[in-house]
């Protein structure tokens, strides 16, 4: 049985968040939480929050009701969210584009290895 957690519109670039997400795929949920808590990046904090939510969803489901030590991170996907478009004034009256990217974090945990 699979359980998932999704966090949308997180203010971090998907490229930066994918580096951390690649590390936890296929690991046990307990090992993944330990890894993410030690990584000194903003993406790690955001992914940890979503991972805790996915584990809580699996533990509290009456049909699934598994122990957290049996859970495995099946997939950790980082999708692109909406981009906030801003500009910075440049020389001679022109404008430079600034794209503030957002991400959608999707983590699936399962009790089957």
The per-residue pLDDT for range 30-86, each reduced to its tens digit, is 999 999 999 999 999 999 999 999 999 998 887 767 888 899 999 999 999 999 999
Tokens 């936890």 found at? 24
Domain boundaries, the chain: 2-110
Residue 92 Rama label (left phi>0; alpha psi -120 to 50; beta): left
Cβ proximity of 43 and 12 under 8 Å: yes
Q: At 86, list the tokens.
A: 């801003």
Tokens 């996907």 found at? 77
> What's the CATH fold of domain 2-110?
Ribosomal Protein L22; Chain A (3.90.470)
Cβ proximity of 34 and 87 under 8 Å: no
Q: What is the pTM of this model?
A: 0.89
């Amino acid at each position: 049985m699979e359980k998932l957690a999704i966090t949308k519109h997180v203010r971090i670039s998907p490229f930066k968040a994918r580096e951390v997400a690649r590390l936890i795929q296929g690991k046990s949920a307990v090992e993944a939480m330990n890894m993410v808590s030690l990584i000194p990046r903003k993406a790690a904090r955001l992914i940890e929050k979503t991972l805790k939510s996915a584990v809580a969803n699996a533990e509290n489901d009456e049909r699934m009701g598994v122990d957290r030590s049996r859970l495995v991170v099946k997939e950790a996907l980082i999708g692109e969210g909406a981009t906030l478009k801003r500009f910075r004034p440049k020389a001679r009256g022109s404008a430079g584009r600034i794209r503030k990217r957002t991400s959608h974090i999707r983590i699936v945990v399962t009790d089957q290895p």
